[in-house]
Structure 1
Amino acid sequence: MVDTRTGLVHDYSRRRGVLDARLILPGSSMRQDHAAFWCGIEHHHRRKDAVLAREVVVGLPAELDQDARAELAWKFAQAIANRFEVAVDCALHTPSKKDSDPRNFHAHLLITACHVDPSGNLGKKALALDPIHCRRAGL
């Protein structure tokens, strides 16, 4: 993946343990081109210290089969996208070889810091997901 802002190439080809990844938008929409979307996010935020996204790692029940774990992760990501009108890049992972627990199935959710509509157009900051705004508002 090439960062069009800096020209840096990010090579994720050696990344292991990723079963599947989906870029989920509000309203049950999905996009296929993760790289173009995230480059758009980079260009959307003008400040050099801008928060582009927040990452959340969620554990998935080892008792479920792979299809059920995937369905659970996709539905959870879709619920976040719909509720907060953001995009969620959801990647399903298997337990790593370094991990001592072979049941550590999990998903990484990369949640945009700005609103996104079902077509992928970017909007203003998602204040409900900003911890500083929430703290100042007493939430």
Structure 2
Amino acid sequence: MHGKSRSAHLYNLHSVSIVCALRAERKRQKGITEEMAIYHLSMKIISRKNGYSAVASAAYRSGSVIPDDRTGLTHDYTRKRGVDDAVILTPANAPSWCGDRSVLWNAVEKAEQRRNSQLAREIELAIPREISREAARETVLAFVRENFVSRGMIADVAFHHMDRTNPHAHIMLTTRAVGETGFAGKVRDWNDRALAETWRASWADHANRALANAGYLEEIDHRSYERQDWRKRPAFTSERLPVRWKNGGWKQNAVSRTV
């Protein structure tokens, strides 16, 4: 190999090595690993006003086929990939028909007569990929029972991509109290913002217990950075480290690191 070509080759190797080393060191100093769990929980209302259907939404999330009695359409998502499991959880006083996905969501549609009706609430949450599939399933279901089913909601829980890098769950929740003959009035207390904050904190607690049981020390936090203790966040300083090869020597640039 010619001298110039060899220098260029060494430059490329050293550049890649140094950049990778710097990135790894920064992550180490910040306490970040490639496998670190992240927090995500979002809430939304499935509304007819926005063109949504509770029946279609349930079929899509569960990867099943459900006929819509109101529209006459059949929603078939049996070929949808990434749906690993779907289960319905009901309160103790709910009639048996609530456990049938087709009957349940058609009953929800029937109970809502307005064009702008709110049909269901949906919770979408990220599942830490550090925990096993079985532990993840039980953690999510325990969270759902504690926070939603215990309050009288019916929950349709779908698990997606459990063996991939983005395991998550979709939780569709009813918005009305239920009786033997069907749905009664809306439960306005379920719309309380303080309750939403309780749910967010509860998922962090459930997920952190699962992480601890799996042997992981890191925890997820439902709060924004602004609400967390800023003293726990790493401070930044400037340090001169070699980052590239030039004219037979290392060219030093200022880079940030955590302390």
Compute the TM-score of the two structures, normalised by the length of structure 1: 0.78
Tell me what 1:62 maps to: 129
Which residue identity does 1:59 align to in structure 2?
Answer: A
Tell me what 2:78 maps to: 13
Tell me what 1:99 maps to: none
Tell me what 2:167 maps to: 105
Give aligned pairs, total: 127
Tell me what 1:3 maps to: 68
The answer to whether structure 1 residue 116 and structure 2 residue 116 are counterparts is no
Which residue identity does 1:35 align to in structure 2?
Answer: S
What is the identity percentage for the equivalent residue pairs of Structure 1 and Structure 2?
Answer: 30
Relative to structure 1, is the Cα distance of residues 116 and 56 closer, same or farther in structure 2, using a 3 angstrom cutoff?
same
Give per-residue Cα distances to partners, 1:27-52, cap 9 Å, x unaligned: 39785420111001111112121101
Does the CA contact (< 8 Å) of 2:133 and 2:162 recur in 1? Answer: no
The answer to whether structure 1 residue 126 and structure 2 residue 191 are counterparts is no
Relative to structure 1, is the Cα distance of residues 48 and 86 closer, same or farther in structure 2, using a 3 angstrom cutoff?
same
SS at match of 1:52: strand
Q: Which runs of 5+ in 1 are unaligned?
A: 97-101
Which residue identity does 2:153 align to in structure 1?
Answer: V
Q: Which runs of 5+ in 2 are unaligned?
A: 1-65, 195-259
Tell me what 2:232 maps to: none
Tell me what 2:118 maps to: 51
The answer to whether structure 1 residue 36 and structure 2 residue 98 are counterparts is no
Which residue identity does 2:175 align to in structure 1?
Answer: A
Tell me what 2:142 maps to: 75
Does the CA contact (< 8 Å) of 1:116 and 1:122 recur in 2? Answer: yes
Q: Tell which has more relative contact order, 1 or 2 (C-alpha 8 A, sep 6+).
A: 1
Larger % of helix: which?
Answer: 2
Relative to structure 1, is the Cα distance of residues 75 and 23 closer, same or farther in structure 2, using a 3 angstrom cutoff?
same
Question: How far does residue 20 in structure 1 lie from its aligned partner after superposition?
Answer: 0.8
- Over aligned residues, Cα RMSD in angstroms? 2.6
Does the CA contact (< 8 Å) of 2:90 and 2:99 recur in 1? Answer: no
Which residue of 89, 92, 101 maps to 1:24? 89
Does the CA contact (< 8 Å) of 2:89 and 2:99 recur in 1? Answer: no
Give per-residue Cα distances to partners, 1:47-104, cap 9 Å, x unaligned: 12110101111111111111111101111121233343111110011169xxxxx431
**Aligned counterparts of 1:2 and 1:26: Cα–Cα separation in 2:** 25
**Aligned counterparts of 2:134 and 2:116: Cα–Cα separation in 1:** 39
**Aligned counterparts of 1:78 and 1:116: Cα–Cα separation in 2:** 16
Does the CA contact (< 8 Å) of 1:84 and 1:115 recur in 2? Answer: no
Question: How far does residue 17 in structure 1 lie from its aligned partner after superposition?
Answer: 0.9
